[in-house]
Amino acid sequence: MGATSKPRKAFPFILPKEKPERELSAALERNYSSYPAPRPEANELYSLFKYTELKGVDYNNHDGTITRRDPSKVILKDGKYYVWYTHRHTPTAPQGPDNCTDTIPARDWDLCEIWYATSRDGFTWEEQGVAVARPPQPEPGWRSVSTPDILEWKGRYYLYYQSFRIHPSTRGDDCPVAVSWADSPDGPWTAVNQVIIPNGAEDEWDGFSIHDPYPLVHKGRIYLYHKSDFDGDPRLVRMTGLAIADDPLGPFEKHPLNPVLNSGHETALFPFREGIAALVIRDGNEHYTVQYAEDGVNFRVASIASLMPDAAGPFVPDAFTDTDEGRGITWGLCHNTMAGHGRETQHTVLMRFDCDLSLDDVDPEMKHHHCNYPPEHFYRHGLSKQQRERISKTTREFRGT
């Protein structure tokens, strides 16, 4: 401030609800222009996430032989909730690429089938068994079918899923997306033996893997979001793209602006107001954010969250109603890949999550700004042996000993 300029009044104690008419720092400017509200409590796309263990599902004493993971969206039909997921029941836990066989899995989603469960309250689930089995060799999926999601379109149901012809450690977890259809969520499911979303060319972002298919109905069309792993230097980059069709069996047209989300892994999406909101959960610069795109394509960060659900499959009542007033979500199922009694028995369990990302429900407890973790939680993220050695070396050098 120059010696002659007028002293300015400090920023007010009460946070203005609207952007004040004054010069703002970049952070304050962003607080008013980038987020739906200047405080998280009033931000409809901000929430805490709370977790509950599911009742009714068994994991063989968590010995690693049973896994349930990558749940679909939850749908409600005739008073019952339905969910589909990857189910593995193998003689042992995954043994890695060098020790796997036709019955011993390489990875947690190898040698799997797609199973489903129903529930009256969303907490207790009754497993109903297989929805989509592995087809005979050499059809896509003979090695494993995994990571399903559901679409309801003109009274018929469609399950999109990853269909492996090689075990998922063979060449970077590559697989195409396949589809099966049924007239009822209870099946029977008919497999369509064709690749629904083909990979791009080898030098394109989706040249090798198309994972986590996630269909919604938007603007009268089928919007199918999916992830791809690419780049590979030093580790794969994960982003989310969009393919649009007028028929569930395609052709799906890849959006020219793909990838449409610069981060995310198993991204979950839902209609929100006139657009689409996304839970951008793991990986990338914008992991752990909730984002929003009025056009379903140009996403912007709407909130930053903690302890978000991995592989969320929310209950999205208006996923297929072609709404332009999306109401949001309050719960769903997700997974945690760290179950078991250590490395030898590591497997994945389904869990329930609750949140308030809804225009209808108001749950002030979900709008608190932080989660409290005990010290043990932090110590579990401890230093590796190599890190301890590096730190000791640097410390010795620093102290000159």
Please give the residue ranges that form the binding site for ligand AAL (CB under 6 A): 70, 109, 146-147, 162, 173, 211-212, 265-266
Q: Decide whether 210 or 302 has the Cβ nearer to ligand AAL.
A: 210
Q: How far is the CB of 105 from ligand AAL (least distance, A)?
A: 12
CB of 210 to ligand AAL, least distance (A): 10
Smallest distance, ligand AAL to C-beta of residue 175, A: 7
Residue 238 C-beta: closest distance to ligand AAL, Å? 8
- Nearest Cα to Cα of residue 20 among 32, 8, 6, 34: 32
- Give the residue with the Cβ less far from ligand AAL, 35 or 85: 85
Read off φ and ψ for residue 74, nearest 5 degrees.
Answer: -95, 135
What is the C-alpha separation between 100 and 109, in angstroms, rounded? 13
Q: CB 85 → ligand AAL: shortest distance, Å?
A: 11
How far is 1 from 344, CA to CA, in rounded Å?
64
- Ordered DSSP codes for 287-337: -SEEEEETTSSS-EEEEE-SSPPTT-EEB-TTTTTT-SSEEEEEEEEEEEE
Kindly tell me which of 119 and 147 has the beta carbon lying closer to ligand AAL: 147
| Residue 59 or 109 with smaller CB distance to ligand AAL | 109
Min dist. Cβ of residue 66 to ligand AAL (A): 16
Nearest Cα residue to 189 out of 113, 251, 247, 112:
113
Q: Which residue number, 179 or 302, has a Cβ lying nearer to ligand AAL?
A: 179
Contact present, 131 and 115 (Cβ < 8 Å): yes
Identify whether the C-beta of residue 143 lies closer than 8 Å to the C-beta of residue 109.
Answer: no
Return the residue nearest ligand AAL (CB atom).
147
HSE value, Cβ hemisphere, 13 Å, CA-based, for 329: 28
Q: Give min distance, CB of 174 to ligand AAL, in A.
A: 9
Kindly tell me which of 327 and 347 has the beta carbon lying closer to ligand AAL: 347
Residue closer to ligand AAL by CB (options 214, 292) is 214
Residue among 203, 195, 189, 184 nearest 226 (CA) = 195
* Cα 45 to chain centroid, rounded: 16
